[in-house]
């Protein structure tokens, strides 16, 4: 019966098969492509009659498929009809090129490409109106393939009525269908194949397959590309390729399709969220990427959804975040970081081991982006290969751009470099670059002023931890003003010692800067010039205030309005309650906030200040809040406290300009609110008490008290008399 159905029972064929089986006893379990034509048919019939586990199906030696009849003898063995036909190239009567002949016309043989473009094969579609190949008739009208209605079946997995991808005994819809698994010839894993073996290349799975390189028709870069719309279509890289629009099942927005899972169609955002955030499956409880959904609306993993979709890393087993070669981003980053921080012998540089641990433990996607885009990576690789110790002085010799500053901060955060005052260090580097190349006559005056006046004061403030980026900006402006003034003196052929007040006033009126006062005072004190007086900076009395009602209303907003950002509420409340400058607020760290029996306290300068309960809760929430952005620089190592309002990187406070802009965006100005708060504070407290609590200089507190016309001199005199 089986031999008859395999067409192997005729005398000639049966005798041929008997001879072959006698010479090749293992022909049914290890068949060769060089075999009689009846052997593949016999193997297929044995499989259909239930003997599939005892025999091995013969595969096409070119495409590797086992589901096609092997009818074409070739030098490689018996091939399927398609593979055998592809190698038989003959001249086409229309285009004159050698191709696969698929039909004949009056002019002669026609190749496949000309046959597809033959206008005689195309007709006008009754639905879309385009000239296309007819697919079927609907109500007596000819329609093309895309417009033809698809026969729907009830999916055997999800139960939905949809066109089936596999219509056998158990029809499966396109959403539930998965490609059959085979052994990948690159990674050795059993995965769905992206490309069959051909031209000496093995079967390649989806993770290992790489498209051929070409120039993308959109961005113009040389990248792996795919051709769209036939042999003459445009080339697109993966970033630029057109994507079909669909409604995402998670966010319910119409966006380009990224993937189709059992749960439905997903956009790129929701796909990345699911693959990067594995969760326990509600069906089996295993931590996996959830790709399906139950009838009750609970998310399910691949096996519980009836599919083999799994995003587990093949190296560490982490369920998700697959990046390349079937490995997660953390494993890939570990290999790349080891290569980056190794010397010429391939050994990890010992003093960079903390940095390697930090990079492999940080957010994988942030590390990947930094490794791929930052110029500091090349600098780090060059320094690591030299086997020399990396110091601040080594980095000071490099170009001081953003990548170098970020690299320095990364090395400080991981403990490779000691922490230093970067504001003071940067102005030193800036000064060396600014004075480089100036004439010797100018340097004899400018260098002592910059080093013994400006830098000396900056060093003193840096040692106290009070040298901010704003102070560094002011110092740079004063040095620039001195450089411009000295250059003007030489250009006008003046002598510095014989300058008159009129000469100085002429310069002040013809130049925009007003920061020349520090330099003039320094030259007068050292008798380099006569008694000159520069126009002082405007330091009049404050003019911007809020009314009492407006001030208290803004304070209520900061304490009660949940729609305001948390950092805006905290900064606004501290300014309106204690008159703190924005720079002082940004220098606050979380260790200054603590609880005692009678309430919560915040140490502003040296003395703790009792906080209102609502403000205390806001600060407590901010202190426990995780970093809101993905960064390699998480928090500084060691005992360095965390900033209450961290910036980017979190090892530094947020910028004052950015916080000022954010406060104005929500209608909470800083200067007028601080002036009003200071007036109210000195009206209720003695200046010396306000000075201790709010961390301001006693003279500043007295100036505010005099401005408020409420000096506490009588109070201090009475207190001194009582103590006696």
Structure tokens at 17: 């098969």
Name the nearest CA neighbour of 604 among 618, 594, 614: 594
Q: pLDDT tens-digit profile of 639-687?
A: 567 888 887 777 778 888 888 889 899 999 888 888 888 888 777 778 7
Angle at 569 between CA 568 and CA 570, to 5 degrees: 95
Task: Tell me if residue 214 falls in helix, strand or coil.
Answer: strand
Q: Is the pLDDT of residue 713 over 60?
A: no
Banded pLDDT at 429 (limits 50, 70, 90): very high
Structure tokens belonging to residue 245? 């629009």
Q: Which residues pair with 319 in a beta bridge?
A: 312
523-540 confidence digits (pLDDT tens): 999 999 888 887 665 555
pLDDT digits (tens, 9 = 90+) for 300-313: 998 898 887 888 88
The predicted-structure confidence for 326-383, as pLDDT tens digits, reads as follows 788 889 889 889 988 888 777 888 888 888 888 888 778 888 888 888 888 888 888 8
**Share of the chain residues as helix, strand and coil, in percent rounded to the nearest 5:** 40, 15, 40
pLDDT value at position 569? Answer: 93
Q: What is the mean pLDDT of residues 174-192?
A: 80
- Does the pLDDT value for residue 709 go beyond 60? yes
Calculate mean pLDDT across residues 68-86: 83
CA gap 477, 177 in Å, rounded: 68
CA distance 442 to 648: 39
Residue 627 has pLDDT above 80, yes or no: no
Tell me: cis bond preceding 585? Omega within 30 of 0 counts: no
Q: Which pair of structure tokens corresponds to residue 547?
A: 């009314």
pLDDT class of 635 with cuts at 50, 70, 90: very low
pLDDT category, 520, cuts 50, 70, 90?
very high
pLDDT greater than 80 at residue 167: no
Q: If you average pLDDT over every residue of the chain, what do you get?
A: 84
Stretch 436-459: mean pLDDT:
93
Per CATH, which fold does 548-718 belong to? hpI Integrase; Chain A (1.10.443)
Residue 394 and residue 384: Cα distance in Å, rounded? Answer: 12
Phi–psi pair at 313, nearest 5 degrees: -65, 130
Share of the chain above pLDDT 70, in %: 93
Q: How far is CA 195 from CA 70, 182, 267, 374, 556, in A?
A: 20, 11, 25, 34, 65
Dist CA 54 CA 642 (whole Å): 68
The answer to whether residue 636 scores a pLDDT higher than 50 is no
Q: Looking at per-residue confidence, does 166 or 149 come out higher? A: 149
**Global pTM exceeds 0.75:** no
Given this model, what pLDDT does residue 480 score? 94
Q: What does the pLDDT read at residue 86?
A: 73
């Amino acid at each position: 019966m089986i031999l008859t159905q395999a067409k192997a029972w005729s005398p000639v064929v049966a005798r041929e098969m008997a001879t072959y089986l006698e010479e090749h006893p293992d022909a049914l379990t290890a068949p060769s492509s060089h075999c009689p034509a009846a052997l593949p048919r016999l193997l297929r019939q044995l499989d259909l009659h239930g003997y599939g586990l005892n025999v091995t199906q013969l595969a096409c030696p070119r495409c590797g498929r086992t589901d096609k009849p092997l009818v074409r003898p070739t030098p490689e063995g018996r091939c399927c009809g398609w593979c055998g036909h592809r190698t038989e190239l003959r001249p086409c009567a229309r285009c004159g090129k050698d191709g696969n002949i698929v039909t004949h016309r009056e002019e002669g043989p026609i190749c496949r490409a000309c046959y597809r473009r033959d206008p005689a094969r195309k007709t006008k579609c009754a639905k879309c109106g385009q000239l296309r190949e007819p697919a079927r008739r609907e109500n007596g009208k000819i329609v093309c393939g895309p417009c033809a209605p698809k026969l729907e079946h009830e999916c055997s997995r999800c139960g939905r009525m949809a066109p089936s991808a596999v219509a056998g005994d158990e029809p499966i819809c396109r959403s539930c269908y998965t490609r059959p698994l085979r052994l990948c010839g690159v990674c050795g894993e059993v995965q769905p194949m992206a490309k069959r073996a051909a031209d000496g290349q093995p079967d390649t799975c989806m993770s290992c397959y790489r498209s051929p390189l070409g120039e993308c028709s959109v961005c113009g870069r040389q990248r792996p590309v795919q051709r769209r719309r036939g042999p003459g279509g445009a080339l697109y890289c993966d970033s630029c390729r057109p994507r079909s629009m669909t409604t995402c099942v998670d966010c319910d927005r119409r966006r380009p399709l990224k993937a189709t899972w059992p749960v439905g169609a997903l956009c790129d955002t929701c796909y990345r969220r699911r693959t990067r955030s594995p969760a326990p499956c509600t069906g089996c409880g295993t931590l996996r990427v959830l790709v399906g959904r139950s009838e009750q609306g609970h998310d399910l993993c691949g096996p519980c959804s009836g599919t083999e979709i799994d995003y587990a890393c093949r190296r560490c087993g982490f369920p998700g975040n697959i990046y390349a070669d079937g490995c997660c981003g953390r494993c890939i980053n570990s290999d790349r970081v080891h290569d980056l921080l190794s010397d010429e012998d391939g050994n990890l540089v010992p003093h960079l081991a903390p940095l390697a641990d930090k990079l492999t433990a940080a957010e994988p996607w942030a590390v990947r982006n930094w490794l791929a885009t930052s110029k500091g990576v090349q600098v780090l690789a060059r320094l690591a290969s030299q086997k020399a110790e990396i110091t601040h002085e080594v980095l000071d010799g490099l170009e001081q751009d953003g990548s170098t500053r970020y690299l320095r901060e990364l090395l400080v955060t991981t403990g490779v470099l000691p922490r230093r005052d970067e504001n003071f260090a940067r102005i030193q580097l800036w000064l060396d670059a600014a004075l480089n190349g100036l004439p010797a006559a100018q340097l004899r005056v400018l260098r002592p002023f910059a080093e013994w006046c400006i830098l000396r004061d900056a060093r003193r403030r840096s040692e106290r931890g009070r040298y901010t980026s704003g102070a560094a900006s002011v110092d740079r402006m004063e040095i620039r003003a001195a450089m411009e003034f000295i250059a003007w003196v030489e250009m006008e052929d003046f002598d510095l010692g014989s300058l008159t007040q009129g000469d100085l006033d002429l310069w002040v009126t013809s130049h925009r800067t007003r920061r020349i006062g520090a330099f003039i005072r320094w030259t007068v004190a050292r008798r380099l010039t006569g008694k000159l007086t520069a126009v002082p900076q405007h330091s009049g009395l404050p003019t911007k205030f809020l009314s009492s009602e407006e001030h208290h209303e803004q304070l209520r907003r900061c304490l009660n309005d949940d729609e305001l950002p948390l950092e805006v509420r905290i900064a606004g409340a501290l300014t309106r309650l204690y008159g703190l400058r924005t720079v002082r607020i940004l220098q606050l760290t979380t260790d200054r906030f603590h609880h005692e029996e009678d309430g919560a306290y915040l140490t502003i300068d040296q003395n703790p200040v009792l906080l209102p309960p609502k403000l205390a809760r806001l600060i407590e929430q901010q202190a426990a809040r995780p970093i809101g952005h993905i960064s390699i620089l998480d928090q500084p190592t060691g005992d360095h406290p965390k900033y209450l309002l961290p910036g980017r990187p979190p090892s530094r406070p947020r910028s004052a300009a950015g916080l000022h802009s954010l406060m104005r965006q929500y209608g909470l100005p800083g200067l007028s609110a601080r002036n009003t708060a200071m007036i109210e504070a000195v009206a209720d407290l003695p200046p010396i008490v306000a000075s201790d609590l709010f961390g301001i200089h006693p003279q500043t507190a007295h100036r505010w008290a005099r401005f408020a016309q409420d000096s506490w001199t009588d109070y201090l005199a009475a207190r001194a008399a009582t103590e006696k």
